[in-house]
């Protein structure tokens, strides 16, 4: 009894403010230990501050650039074209790490469409969709997305992360199974964690392992194979033809995340399912408006009409998140218009990507993936990747080192991303800087 009373006296004899400060001090100690561990491992991620629009040439706070040229669509063009105007200016920094695959983030027609939507529909809705947050432009964009992907319907989310968080929990039950590539994007992994379905993970791109998992999953009601179309860290592409063949054999559905494919893979930019000729065999597509399609924000699910209707009723990120701002909707809608009017810019991507890959490999670098504008320069060591990226910036090239936990330990790399608005001179300058920095750090002989 005495011990209990003494404990109470010791606890409640201390003012509440002191106990709170003690708890805060304990928290700070824990957090500082975690942060120091990140710094010690060489995986600390700093944020460079851009002071200009997104594009192939940018301005970075504290870093100067030199003279150069920038590519803009000609003023007389009704849509994207191979015809260009070259303007002299102070080039700033060459940006080789944006997801701005088609160069539409600062396209004048995309910007104008955003301004027009802002003026006509306001800054925001101050509401979720089902209360008073659905405008005509939201419905029009959803219809345009469904048409673009040749699906029945589509639903918008604040991001594709939200689309992935909403899909699996709403669709799958404890009676079902989901089979996921081990290197799927974090948003797919987190979305799958939220659902109550039985979870199977197959080795990356290993169709033998997927088949074994499908055989094991035959006891479940629904089987859903989930994969990235293009894997963002490695630049490799899912073997969708084989995945769809196995899905058909074992009565499974196929889900593909097309964030790093929509707009530029396939003859008309529909994505990896178009590239590999299986558009009619992929059941569900999730993708983003925040990369090739204007680069602002937003994601979506497109697929069977009843599925989209169910998501409007049950997908928590949709039900409990504000509607996409009108300006974002306007920009994305115009980006889709430009893409559907002409595929010229899509076709220009392959040659520019291959130019970079060929020159880097000839210089002695190992480039992961194949034929995708994501070109990971494999270095292995996290500190090496970080230091090389810093020295690239000193030479006017903006790239970022990626290390654990973004990629597996021992597989650090600098991920280079080619944009349709990079010129051949831009690409050659980037390669030259890599060779110089690589030799400086011993990555090249």
- Which residues are part of the catalytic machinery? 232, 260, 291
DSSP string, 401-428: EE-TTTS-TT-EEEEEE--TT--HHHHH
Q: How far is it, in rounded angstroms, from Cα 263 to Cα 72?
A: 19
- Six-digit token string for 118: 């802002």
- Six-digit token string for 70: 């920038």
Asked if 48 contacts 386 with a C-beta cutoff of 8 angstroms, the reply is: no
CA angle 217, 219, 220 (to 5 degrees): 75
Q: How far is it, in rounded angstroms, from Cα 138 to Cα 147?
A: 14
Q: 153-157 and 177-181 as β-strands: parallel, antiparallel, unpaired?
A: unpaired
Q: How far is it, in rounded angstroms, from Cα 86 to Cα 424?
A: 13
CA-based radius of gyration for the chain = 24
Nearest alpha-carbon partner for 223 in 166, 162, 179: 179
CA angle 268, 270, 273 (to 5 degrees): 120
CA angle 412, 379, 181 (to 5 degrees): 45
Nearest alpha-carbon partner for 90 in 63, 120, 130, 113: 63
């Amino acid at each position: 009894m005495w011990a209990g009373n003494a404990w109470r006296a010791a606890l409640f004899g201390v003012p509440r403010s002191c106990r709170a400060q003690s708890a805060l001090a304990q928290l700070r100690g824990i957090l500082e230990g975690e942060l120091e561990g990140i710094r010690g491992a060489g995986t600390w991620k700093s944020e460079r501050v851009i002071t200009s629009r997104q594009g192939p040439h940018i301005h970075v706070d504290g870093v100067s650039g030199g003279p150069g040229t920038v590519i803009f669509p000609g003023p007389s063009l009704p849509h994207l074209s191979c015809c260009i105007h070259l303007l002299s200016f102070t080039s700033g920094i060459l940006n080789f790490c944006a997801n701005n695959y088609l160069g539409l983030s600062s396209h004048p027609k995309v910007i104008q469409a955003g301004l027009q939507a802002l003026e006509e529909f306001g800054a925001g809705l101050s509401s979720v969709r089902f209360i008073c947050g659905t405008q005509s432009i939201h419905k029009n964009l959803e219809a345009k997305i469904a048409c673009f992907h040749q699906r029945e319907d589509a639903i918008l989310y604040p991001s594709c992360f939200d689309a992935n968080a909403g899909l699996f929990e709403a669709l799958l039950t404890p009676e079902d199974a989901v089979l996921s590539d081990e290197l799927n994007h974090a948003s797919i992994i987190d979305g799958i964690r939220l659902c109550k379905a039985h979870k199977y993970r197959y080795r990356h791109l290993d169709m033998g392992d997927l088949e074994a998992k499908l055989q094991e999953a035959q006891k479940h009601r629904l089987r859903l194979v989930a994969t990235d179309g293009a894997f963002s860290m490695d630049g490799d592409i899912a073997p969708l033809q084989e995945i769809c063949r196995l899905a058909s054999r074992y009565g499974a559905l196929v889900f593909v995340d097309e964030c790093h494919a929509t707009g530029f893979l396939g003859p008309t930019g529909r994505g990896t399912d178009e590239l590999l000729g299986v558009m009619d065999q992929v059941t569900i597509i999730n993708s983003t408006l925040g990369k090739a399609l204007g680069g602002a924000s937003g994601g979506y699910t497109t697929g069977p009409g009843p599925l989209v209707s169910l998501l409007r009723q049950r997908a928590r990120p949709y039900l409990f998140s504000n509607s996409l701002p009108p300006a974002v909707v306007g920009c994305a809608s115009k980006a889709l218009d430009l893409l559907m009017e002409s595929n010229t810019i899509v076709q220009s991507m392959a040659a520019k990507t291959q130019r970079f890959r060929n020159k880097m490999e000839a210089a002695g670098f190992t480039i992961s993936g194949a034929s995708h504008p994501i070109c990971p320069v494999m270095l292995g060591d996290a500190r090496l990747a970080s230091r090389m990226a810093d020295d690239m910036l000193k030479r006017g090239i903006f790239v970022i080192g990626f290390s654990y936990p973004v990629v597996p330990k021992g597989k650090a790399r600098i991920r280079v991303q080619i944009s349709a608005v990079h010129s051949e001179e831009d690409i050659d300058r980037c390669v030259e800087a890599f060779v110089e920095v690589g030799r400086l750090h011993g990555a090249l002989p």
